[in-house]
Every structure is written in structure tokens, then in C-alpha cells.
Structure 1
Amino acid sequence: MNETTSSKPMYEKIFDEVKQRIVTETYKLGERVPSEKELAEAYHVSRITSKKALEMLAAERLIVRKPGRGSFVADPETDYMEPEPESAANPAGTVPKTIHHEEITIGLIITDFGNSYGTGLIYGMEQSSRDNDCFLVLRRTFGIAENEEQSIQKLLNLGVDGLIIFPAQGEYFNAEILKLVIGRFPLVLVDRHLKGVAAASVSSDNMTAALKGTEYLFDLGHAHISFLSPPPVDTTAVEDRIEGFIQAHAKRGIAVDQELWVSDLTSTLPNSFNDKNIERDISRLVAHLKNNPAITALFAIEYNIALLAKTAVERLGLRIPEDISIICFDSPPTHLGGGYSFTHMRQNEEEMGRIAVENVLSIMKGQAVPHKVTLEARLVPGESTGPAKPAPGDV
């Protein structure tokens, strides 16, 4: 038997059959009913399908789901007793009988996080989960698609009620995400959206942010700007930043010179971070700056690439920002001292995290949420930008 053998959805078939066993007392009062995993195996369906069937049974008060223990045939006299109104029989300050339910758990799958980006996201999600009385379970993938697939499967096996996914870098989305979307599992994507996939997402307005950052450099007199990025490979955050960079040129009537770009930097990707790759990328930037002396500014798509650029500029004996300016996305806070303050576009990470959790909870309740939420990024001036140096021959 599988999910396509009849016109009725399999979760309804499972619901009907388990309900019948409860009504006929095959499953007696207080007795444990099969778990999501057991039902999924028995009916040859996904955990998403069996979970939905159990949720329907709980919604009809046929079963009660207890954290860490399982699902049990409900006793309507005790398991679903509504709180009594305040009265002499139930004065304020006493604890009324309440509806038993499982704690809501949301799984978070993220490539990685650090002090420049990601920690704020988790702070926002953690605070929102506290505010909404739910739990957050974290798994890192380090940008590896296989890790992402395994993390989704493991969190579903744990019985999470919803998922927030920061997709791994790559030119495709894995089959597990597609299954979640088709099964209408409560899912929100963070930092990027997936083309052709009807999943809710929360991210920065990357295109507008890149446009504003580029215009800031134009206002400082920079016309020859090198754009630094990893390969786009259909990663929407990267593509949107490239589009913003191009649109800024179009608005100012400045020709885009892609010969000045470097778009093959890979050492900052989660699964490529090692000394050999870092040195290769720095050498690549050193050679690029030598071969293109007209460059006066570098727009790094992320903080770690800005660090590579800074090292390359300093190796050439050039000064920042007197000879070359650098701007990037995100930069660790320096108010505690010890850090270099790049001019950067600061993403509103904590708000992104908060919205992601709230949207997952809304989807769980059957409420509609925006397909794509984008938040403004703020320009934060730092030490790394200044007026463009005069071109040779200028007065």
C-alpha cells in the first residue's frame, strides 16, 4: 500500500482506521496508539503523513499526545477538561485543569554560524521560541547537501512540529525539502528562497542592500569597483546582490566592467574552509589587483571575503582606505575592541529569526503567511572606506 493507491489522501485513511479502532475499543481508554514512525512503516508512508493523521485524531480529542511518551486514547473526562471559570469553587490563584498537549518543537537546520553572521539569527529564533513557549533543536550542515538531507530526516524522526532551514549552498535544493513542500509540512526558509518551490522564506532585501552599498562607493568617487563573490550557482542571495550591484551602475549611468569582478572565491564556503584554499584565494586577489591597477574599491559579498581582500591589499603594500576601499555584508561588532571595523551592510538577523519562528507557528495553525518576506539591511560606515584616490594625471 502507498500514498497513491486511492483517491482519498493516505493521512485520512490512517485517521479513519485508527479512529475506528478507538471507537470499537480495539485501542482501549488510556492505551498507547502506534507512533508516527510505526504508522509510517505500517502504511508505507512518510512521517509527515502519519504525523498529520495523529494531529487530526488529537484535534478530534480521540487521542492525547504526551511529550516523550507517545499518543494515548484520550479520556474525555480528564485529558480534555477545559479550565473552569474563576468562582468560589475555583478562586483566582489556583491551578485549573488544562488541556494536555505535546510541547511544540521546531527544528533549525543551518549551514553554520559565527560572529559575523548567523549568531543573531539564532538569538532571534531562541527568543521567539521562548516567547511562544516552544523549543528549538539545532543541526548544522556546513553547507553539505547530504548533511542537510540527513538532518531533515533525523529531525522528522524526532517528531519536530515544524522546520526552519537555511539551505546549503548549491545549484539545487534537495529532495527532502521538496517532500516537505509537497506534504505541506510547516516549513520556512531563511536567508534565501528556492526558485520554483512554494515555500515561505525570510531574508534580507539583498538586491536593494547591494544597490545602496554600491551607490555609497559611487558617492565617494569610486567608479572602478571589483565585485568579489563565490560562484553564484543559483544561490538567490548571491544572485540578488549581483543584481543590486548591476542596477546601481545602471542608475548612475556607469558601465559595468565584469573584467574587474572575481566570482570564483571558494575558501569561505562552509565545506571549503582550509588554509590551502584561503591562500589560493588571497593569491588570486593579489594577482587580480596587480593586473587591474584602476580598481579603487572592492565590494565583498560577505565579511570573510572582505578579510581575504584586506590581506591581499596589505600584501601589495597598499593602504585601506587611502588606496583601496572595501565594503562588505555584515561585520562583527567592534564595541568591545580588538576588531577591524569594515564599512558594511548590516542585516537584521534577530528580526529575521523572530519572523521565521512566528511564521512556522502560523503555518502550523493553518494560517496564511507571506510567501517571501524581505527585510532592509542598514549601511554602517567603518574604517575601510574613503574617497577614491585621484586617477593619474588628475589635479
Structure 2
Amino acid sequence: MRRNASISISARCFVPAFLAGLLCSGIANTGVAHEGHEHSSETLVAKSSATDPNLPSTFQIGDVTYAWKHRADLGQQSDALAAAAKGGLHNNADQDPVTKEVVTVVSRHGLVALDADLKSWSLVENQDPKFAEGMNSHGTDCFLFDDESYWAFASTNTGEVVLSKRGEVVAVLTSPKGGEFENETINKYYADGGKFAPCDVVFAPEAESLIVVTGYAPGDYALTAKFVDGNWKWTGAAWGGKTSQGGPFATAHGVEVTTIDGDEVIEVASRAHGRVYGFDAKGEMQKLPGTTEEKFIQLPPRSNPCNLALFGNEMYLPLLNPLADSNGVAPVLIVADGKPVGRLVPADYDGLQYMHHMHGFCAVERDGKLFGIALSWRNGGENQKGKRNDGQIAIFEAVAAE
């Protein structure tokens, strides 16, 4: 975990113990660094088992194949939460760096937290009424700032970024007015009344900045906000733009922060063309490990990432739509060194057959074991045509496959 005088990166930033066991047994680490820790230049051999139709939900590290086990005993929900999620879950979740709770906002239900033991979800006590009034957490980030824990939510439903301290709203960022950023094209877009639709948010501790991506709008940008004179404000770097306008993005949809070769890198998942880009905090494109001179990671055909999660040396990308070989339902794609190394297909599990469109994924470690909290999105149009799919939350454990 990296620290400076006032900031600490999220507690997700460590080598997971189940991987550390492999490293101690003589398997070398990868040159990629995610979530605030660095690795040596040696290479961890990662082989893909995702193409094996008998193992649709596995990933492999070294000589060990891991399978995802659905833990139906974890993540218990109230009837009200399950009903609200089923009808409109369009979310991601993240882990509080101090309490280890996993949090998200369910539209028309409220701010909910999964306890540190992953046993059950409950409404956060004494939360601001705003959380139950229609906002969602299309993107979520929990982070430490000035030694305090913040929960940030990018709400596509209400067009705002909401920052809170355990349910107490401390800031709401709405559309920029124009003039806040170093990029005059982006300033003009907002000065002319351009749509603001935040898809995801992450805190970059070295830059002391919130980075927000806005893919659901003609202005397909990455925007910066900072804590200035006691308030969170839009200011500083902004970059991007749609491919049709000469930019790199085709619906920037997920954003995370990592460290590569000692430098803080902002990673952006761009949905429509299935790519992951890296940038510094000023918007200069950075080469991601495993990429060519193009710098970005090109995901397999049909990949439409709705979010981006980092844990250990892997990226976890919940996909909106099925891949050619995922039996008509969408997976969570697992990528290392720019290449797919496995997947999780929630709809393949008993009782989860209606998790057709993956939207969120949060990877956490408990007692040396890796768990994944997967969130699916309900497609109302498909439901009207008789193809049922639900908004659901399910928890999986990574276990060594026999």
C-alpha cells in the first residue's frame, strides 16, 4: 500500500494471499503492477483455460487452474433489495478500505453494504435520503483521503457524482459549466450545454484527483476533480473524445488506477470497441503491459466491458453481451498481460440463469481466499420480448480445480 502525507490508496492494493502462496513456491511474479503495488520484471506464466467448454468459469496461474464456486450461502439479501435489484440494477460495487464492507447504491432502494464476512447485505444506517431517490452507482470507488474513508458513486440515473462518508453526502459534482479544464475543446462542449453522463469514478492518490469517465454522452471524456479550498471541484486535466471525433473512446465506461514501472496509470475500459487504455493523470496515453505499439489492450471480438476491476495481476471485465463461445450469456472476462486468461459465467450456475448481462465485479480477499461479487444488469427490452434476465448480485469463491 502506498502512502504519502495525506493520502492512502484503497485497501484493494496488495498481492492476494492465494497468489502469494504460488509465488513463495517458486512461481515468479508478473511485470504488471495493479492497485498501487509493483512487481519484478520476471514473468508469471498464465495460460488460458477459458476456451475449454467443460470449464466455462476458470482461470489459470502457473500450473494451477482455479474454478469459480457459487457461494449461495453468502450475500444474503432482503426481499426488498432483491426486488429492487431485479427490476433495475445498473451498478458496480467496491470495498471500503477500512471496514472491508462492499458497498453499492440500488436505485429506489438505497445505499447498501455487504458486511466484512460477506454474509449479508443491509441498508446503511442514517444514510442521506438522496440514496433512495433514484440515483444508482453505475460506477463506485471507495478510497482514503486525509485518512478518512470516502465512498464515491457515478450515477447515470441522475447525472451526478456523489461523494459520501458512510452515507453522509459531502459533495455532489454535477455538469461542468465550461472553463474548468485545461482542454479548451472540452470546456467549449460544456459551455455549449453538452450532456454530462458519468459512467465511473476512481480516486488517483498520487495525483490527488478524482477521475470521472462520461461515455454515455456525445462528450466521451475523462474529467478531473480535486479537493480545493475545502470543496471538491472540477479542475485540471481532461481528455478523450469519441472515435468519430478523433478521440480514443467509444463509450468510456469503466476506470481504475494502477502503478506500472513506478508510475501511476489511469486505466479506462472503452465499451463499444472492446479496448482498455492507459493514461497518466494529464491524459497522455501510456503503454499497457502485453500491448504492441498501439498501447491499448484489444479485447476479444464482441467484448463490451461495462466496468473494470483490478486485483493482483488480473483485470476483471464484466461484459454487457455474450462472447462467441459463452452460450448466449455474458461473462466476466479475466485478463493478464493484455491477454484473456479465464472467465466467470454466472448464468451457468444453478439459480443464476437469468444473469445474462454482466455490469459490475468486485474482487476481494478473505482469509487467503479470493472472492468475486458479480452484478448483472436487467435488459428491459429483452424482458418485454420474453427473454427474461434479471438484475442480480451473486458471490463466487475461487477454488483450485480438481
Give the TM interval when normalised to the shorter protein: under 0.3
Larger % of helix: which?
A: 1
Larger % of strand: which?
A: 2
TM-score, normalised by the number of residues in structure 1: 0.21
In terms of Rg, which structure is larger?
1
TM-score, normalised by the number of residues in structure 2: 0.21
